[in-house]
Structure 1
Amino acid sequence: MKRNQLNLFLVVLSLYCGQLIAQFNYGEALQKALFFYEVQQSGELPDWNRVSWRGDSALEDGSDVGLDLTGGWYDAGDHVKFNFPMAYSVTTLAWGAIEYEDAYRDSGQLDIIKRNLRFVTDYLLKCHTAPNELYGQVGNGGVDHGWWGSPEVYPRERPSYKIDEANPGSDLAAETAAAMAAVSILLKDDDPTYSATLVTHAKQLYNFADNFRDEYSNSITDAAGFYRSFSSYQDELVWGASWLYRATNEAQYLDKAESEYDNLQREGQSTIAKYKEAFSWDDKAYGAYVLLAELTGKDKYKEDAERNLDYFSFNVNGESVPTTPGGLPHLRQWGTVRYASNVSLLSVIYADKVTTDPVKQARYGDFAKRMVDYALGDNPINRSFMVGFGNNPANDPHHRANSGNWTNSQSGPPEVASHVIFGAVVGGPKSPDNDDFVDDRGEFIANEVACDYNAAITGVLARMYGEFGGDPLSDFPVDEVPSRSEIRSVSKFNSNNPFGSTIRILIQNRTAWPARVTDKLSYRYFFDISEGIAAGKTIDDYDISLNGVGSSAQMEIKSAGGSIYYAEITNLPSIAPIGDPQFRTETQINVRVQNGVPYDTSNDWSAQGINESEDLESENIPVYDDGVLVFGNEPGGLLSVDDINESGLVVYPNPSKRVLNISGDTSVLQNGKIVITGILGNTIYNKSITNNTTGTIAINTIDFASGVYFLNLTTNEGRQLTSKFVKE
């Protein structure tokens, strides 16, 4: 008796102490876990989507069958909409929000999860085209997985697949019914009409599942290699009926759930309900144990639920789930953190809503906290498995949109992921022998992310927030700034001598903020014929032509004033970041002169930084999208020394003097910048102009090795003045 009292005291003490320890900011983690679902949105993005680098995509989904099947979530790091795991994710997310609604509300995330779930049920309603007809997949898995790029520019066909009376799918139909029923509960007070619509469709779908029985992957055969329901459909029949009862309170659905319950799979050859697996997109039986225990309070369901939970958190007859050295359950190498999270959600719901036994409440609550803390960074390798959260997080997951690749190559470029998919939970350690993990996007077993990976842990995070707190970030998310030039020119001289030159110019589309097709690009190449003018020549003495390299590009020579001209190249072909060479287009500008016509590219604005050995990004060959400058620098008129004198800046023609004389209208010269570059575009002097800067500025540190330099003055008004000066 005393031992039992001591055990009870220790349990109460552990619960009390646990309330004092919040190892992580669960509010922030919850906030980010929900953000991930906005990254996964397909179709036309709602105005509340917060992912600055995503755009509309897959706007023709369903057109192959004459329907609008746009919307929903992309499944994982790919672009297929697999409705079976998608519906599971909706049901599980909604369950967490129903059970922990106060925590969602207090953390400011309730409206966010509601709108995200409604976005998907809108799509599922589109897919339910008749009482006994349901579209269950858009996109072919094999075709999709053979391409690596962003969804906004997806270049392949996206076929639509359905189940119907002739080709049924009880697991898919019943899970979709469960999803609609669960969301109807969550949205009932906000929109009773929409909630009722969901219930109507859920009832039809459940009847379809019950009356026309088969596994959906026998009908949608492409799904068999990705999301075949190995547990068959009996678990979904129980699960779907249970959710319909909770949504409608109609006894027929509880009767149905209980009558089908006894047909669930057994553990091995025994008569005991199976317990050595985890709740997942495939197997809802373990969720049904907990849900029916909650709905009925019957010992039968409690015993089955506790046996499953004890297998993970304690032991059953001395046997427990295999774990890594760090304590992570390891059922299989795929998605280890996901399975631990799934069991954790059942654990906290059972502890909070079903059992009144303080020992079991502590056991299951402690297990869930250990598992979520493991995922957030409390593990032997001291790193977070949630992207963009905690210490040394996994920030380069196996996810096409995240990588922002433009050459249809998983390995890159870019080597570093273009984006951060905040909140996405990766699969986790592959081996039961250790807790090791490599943040490698090519490691799809350990490092992929998926909608179902985040579904249960999101509810657990809400539960932890309710107990331990942790403020969501007030400035989240911050719009991403592109980490590279999305549109750019890359150039080199194929030849360059006193008789002419050939400049190879590649215009590239490396867009990812968001990715997009470009079909209105143009560029300008600026050159200076002052040496020819000094010899009495004109622009007509220069033979300038364009080689479109197979395209219909066009060129026009225009004056920029004085001795400066530019070639404007338009009508470039459409390019998109979908592969190589599809992301780029090549043109070549040829300049030829007759004997006696001086020709020197060293004073040409656009020749700076170009050489004959390699293609280099050429910032002085500006690129325009539909007439708007999107890359590079215009010369700003290439003012002469006399022009700059009139602006108050005197440049000594002999740079060996190493001074700049600043005088004149000081209001123009306030808060500007002086930059001197060499002929290769390298910056050799950079100095800010402070208020009322006048007099002489020494630039003794400059090594004037070559004879041509460019001085750029940016004024506080944003004006850019540029002058070439030559060593005497």
Structure 2
Amino acid sequence: MALHLMATAVSSISINNLTIVQSANLEYARLLSHSILFYEAQRSGKLPSNNRVSWRHDSALTDGSDVQLDLTGGYYDAGDYLKFTFPLSYTAFMLSWGGIDYYKGYELANQASYLREQVKWATDWMIKAHPSRCTLYVQIGDVRLDNNYFGPDTNIPLPRPSYQINETYFGTDVASMTAAAFATASSLFRMFASVTGDQKDAAYADLLLSHGVQLYSCSKTTNFSRYQFSVPTVKDIYASTDYLDDLILSAIALYKATKNETYLNDALSYYQLPDWRTNHTEPLGWDNKYGAVYILLAESLFNTSDPQKSIQSRKVAENYLDGIVSGTSVNQTKGGLLFWDFYSDDNSNANAMSTSYLLLSYSRQVLRPLLAISPTDQEAISAKIKRYEDLAIRQLNYMFGMNPINQNYIVGERPNSPKYPHSALAAGFNSLADAIASPTDLSHSHTIYGALVGGPAKNDSFADQRLDWSQTEVALDYNACYQGILAYQAMYSPNGPYYETPTSSSNPTTAHAPNALPTWAIAIAVVLPVLAACLLGLLAFMFLRRRRQQPLRQKSEPSTRYESDEGSTLQQDGSPKDFSQSSPVSQKKTSVDLADQGITLPKELLTESTTQRAPELGQ
């Protein structure tokens, strides 16, 4: 497949004390192109005439027919055929953010036009999913049916129901995050218009902004709530733990898109609520946006007329990032990978990449400009810049193979890249049964180039097995920040990425055989086949479990409005829902002492599920 990888020569330009390279490193250009190609492999709906992924087909062409809407298109979320708005909007937001800040990197790598199509494929569907002011479709597909299918895109099981939030049964989190994505994508397309002079891009930017403004207005004026209470089916996959971070992020994004101070004031007013916390340590991801809020607010207030606000916002952002760099808020594996207990259990690479993105962004947008205007603090600021940027690049190098097992985590890039990504699209099986019976069969598989897989365990071990979704699954949100870092490198790095040749230790599950078999080991050899069978059964069980939900942690909720937890009883046709067949979700009462914080939670929130799992086969 021919890809446009020729680097574009330019004169050296310095932005924020960073020098843009004269031409993009060819390897970073290739990696960037492959990340975009991964998203093209995830496309749903009718594929365009210029489709570059030859093994993909038109698919899911009846999406939305149950609600008399065209909801075809968009992207499949991960290694499956479901579509979810919450992680998609986060993905579109991050891709747009990176596209704005590192646009020159895309240009130098000749990928700017592909970036445009990449983001537009997401936002075109998001427009369809937002048919009226407060209505937003948040899931397409049946989780149980999808869990039982691991075949090609030509036989995706039906029905594929459509699930919405609306003014009566709302979701502040997903509506706000989608508003943020619309606003940031609007800024990106306005940049495209300014570069190319294409007024179609300017008109599209206006359209995106109008959708963002509408959803933000709904989020402000509708009772605050998390969307799983309105659409219970998402609870086992993409349940939200908070909405204030999304609400603040959408206000910041709209401020950056419009320069309207009202949005910035909104962000500050939400930020200063007693329920808001400035001491979050969670990694940036589809659910937790605190880190992005801290960094973007500090950037937005950098040149404010109120220096105290600017200083305070920088303090909060640097407390967050310093905790990461110093190791007080997150651990590192022995190999150097940032690893959050709980959060990194099934997507360790994505968390490391999102954090690296924030480190590089804050250094470029805040610290380096600060260095230019703070002559008395040069040494301290320079040292912090180095710490932030060095840690970020070390995380990227870990993805490329600078780790104890010399494992590259990007599919299709190197001899030591994953061979068995958890992707129904690329695996080439006809059914789930075939995948379980022959998980290492590559005879009909396709290479899903550029996909960042879930990542290693806390001990730096990695099982390259399709059945181990927690380590080998691919997903839209996994690549979003990784791609932004690649664009940063294409823009600023004169050198190529770190690579290390695979060694015999590349497979952590392979032990060196001893020279002689101990006598006691004979008994083990006798029962080994039984143990192997048990292991295969366990792996199959893991495969059937639904994949990448994050168990809810009890968090303080805004007490300024009542958050309903009754859930929607509304079918899409307006008739009552029947929950008699709903899969059980474990409910645990959580003892939460928030009295000292002056926070009162609705009593129903104290019995929310704190440990969630997806429905399993046979439930």
> What's the offset of the Cα at 1:31?
1.4
2:332 to 323, 328, 338: 323
Between 1 and 2, higher relative CO (CA 8 Å, sep ≥ 6) is seen in 2
2:217 is the counterpart of 1:207: yes
* Residues 1:174 and 1:329: Cα distance change in structure 2 (over 3 Å): same
3-state DSSP of counterpart to 1:411: helix
Partner of 1:76: 78
Partner of 2:374: none
3-state DSSP of counterpart to 2:447: coil
Partner of 1:444: 469
Partner of 1:306: 318
* 2:25/2:496 contact within 8 Å kept: no
* 2:270/2:276 contact within 8 Å kept: no
Between stretches 211-220 and 24-33, larger displacement belongs to 24-33
Q: Distance in 2 between matches of 1:255 and 1:111?
A: 35
Question: Structure 2 matches for 1:33-72, cutoff 5 A?
Answer: 33-72=35-74
- What is the aligned length? 446
> What's the offset of the Cα at 1:292?
1.1
TM-score (norm 2): 0.69
* Residues 1:370 and 1:407: Cα distance change in structure 2 (over 3 Å): same
2:172 to 149, 170, 173: 170
Aligned residue type for 1:311: G
2:313 is the counterpart of 1:287: no
2:492 is the counterpart of 1:467: yes
Q: Distance in 2 between matches of 1:171 and 1:116?
A: 24
Question: Structure 2 matches for 1:363-402, cutoff 5 A?
Answer: 363-402=387-426
Q: Distance in 1 between matches of 2:170 and 2:431?
A: 40
Aligned residue type for 2:285: S
> What's the offset of the Cα at 1:320?
4.2
Partner of 1:296: 301
2:280 is the counterpart of 1:275: yes
* 1:107/1:471 contact within 8 Å kept: no
* Residues 1:183 and 1:377: Cα distance change in structure 2 (over 3 Å): same
> What's the offset of the Cα at 1:393?
0.3
Q: Distance in 2 between matches of 1:425 and 1:175?
A: 23
Question: Structure 2 matches for 1:495-644, cutoff 5 A?
Answer: none
Q: Distance in 1 between matches of 2:282 and 2:399?
A: 20
* 1:235/1:264 contact within 8 Å kept: no
1:218 to 226, 229, 239: 229
Largest Rg, 1 or 2:
1
Between stretches 212-221 and 339-348, larger displacement belongs to 212-221
Q: Distance in 2 between matches of 1:295 and 1:421?
A: 37
3-state DSSP of counterpart to 1:162: strand
Partner of 2:456: 429
Partner of 1:157: 159
Q: Distance in 2 between matches of 1:70 and 1:390?
A: 34
2:145 is the counterpart of 1:138: no
* Residues 1:138 and 1:469: Cα distance change in structure 2 (over 3 Å): farther
Q: Distance in 2 between matches of 1:96 and 1:251?
A: 23
3-state DSSP of counterpart to 1:280: coil
Q: Distance in 2 between matches of 1:380 and 1:391?
A: 16
TM-score (norm 1): 0.59
* 1:394/1:439 contact within 8 Å kept: yes
Q: Distance in 1 between matches of 2:93 and 2:49?
A: 24
RMSD (Å) for aligned C-alpha atoms: 2.3
Q: Distance in 2 between matches of 1:137 and 1:322?
A: 34
> What's the offset of the Cα at 1:391?
4.0
* Residues 1:30 and 1:355: Cα distance change in structure 2 (over 3 Å): same
Q: Distance in 2 between matches of 1:68 and 1:118?
A: 17
* Superposed CA offset, 1:186-212 (max 9, x none): 111141111101111100001111212
3-state DSSP of counterpart to 1:256: helix
* Residues 1:407 and 1:132: Cα distance change in structure 2 (over 3 Å): closer
* 2:149/2:431 contact within 8 Å kept: no
Aligned residue type for 1:127: A
* 1:23/1:373 contact within 8 Å kept: no
* Superposed CA offset, 1:107-154 (max 9, x none): 111111111111111111011111111111101222211211122220
Partner of 1:348: 360
* 2:411/2:453 contact within 8 Å kept: yes
> What's the offset of the Cα at 1:371?
0.6
> What's the offset of the Cα at 1:389?
1.2
3-state DSSP of counterpart to 2:164: strand
Partner of 2:32: 30
Question: Structure 2 matches for 1:693-712, cutoff 5 A?
Answer: none
* Superposed CA offset, 1:63-88 (max 9, x none): 00100000111000011101100000
2:267 is the counterpart of 1:257: yes
3-state DSSP of counterpart to 1:161: strand
Aligned residue type for 1:334: D
1:456 to 481, 490, 502: 481
1:86 to 85, 88, 98: 88
> What's the offset of the Cα at 1:471?
8.4
Q: Distance in 1 between matches of 2:86 and 2:62?
A: 21
Partner of 1:123: 125
Partner of 1:670: none
* 2:282/2:290 contact within 8 Å kept: no
Q: Distance in 2 between matches of 1:340 and 1:393?
A: 18
3-state DSSP of counterpart to 2:233: helix
Partner of 1:653: none
Q: Distance in 2 between matches of 1:446 and 1:456?
A: 18
Q: Distance in 1 between matches of 2:481 and 2:69?
A: 32
Aligned residue type for 1:207: S
* 1:275/1:304 contact within 8 Å kept: no
> What's the offset of the Cα at 1:97?
0.7
> What's the offset of the Cα at 1:406?
1.2
Q: Distance in 2 between matches of 1:224 and 1:248?
A: 34
Q: Distance in 1 between matches of 2:161 and 2:288?
A: 27
Aligned residue type for 1:367: L
Relative to total residues, which structure has the larger strand share, 1 or 2? 1
> What's the offset of the Cα at 1:216?
0.8
2:425 is the counterpart of 1:415: no
Q: Distance in 2 between matches of 1:383 and 1:23?
A: 22
3-state DSSP of counterpart to 2:331: coil
Q: Give the share of equivalent positions with the same residue, in percent.
A: 38
* Residues 1:264 and 1:143: Cα distance change in structure 2 (over 3 Å): farther
* 2:244/2:276 contact within 8 Å kept: no
* 1:377/1:390 contact within 8 Å kept: no
> What's the offset of the Cα at 1:23?
11
Q: Distance in 2 between matches of 1:224 and 1:79?
A: 18
> What's the offset of the Cα at 1:470?
6.5
* 1:27/1:470 contact within 8 Å kept: no
* Residues 1:24 and 1:371: Cα distance change in structure 2 (over 3 Å): farther
Q: Distance in 1 between matches of 2:157 and 2:163?
A: 19
* Residues 1:222 and 1:372: Cα distance change in structure 2 (over 3 Å): same
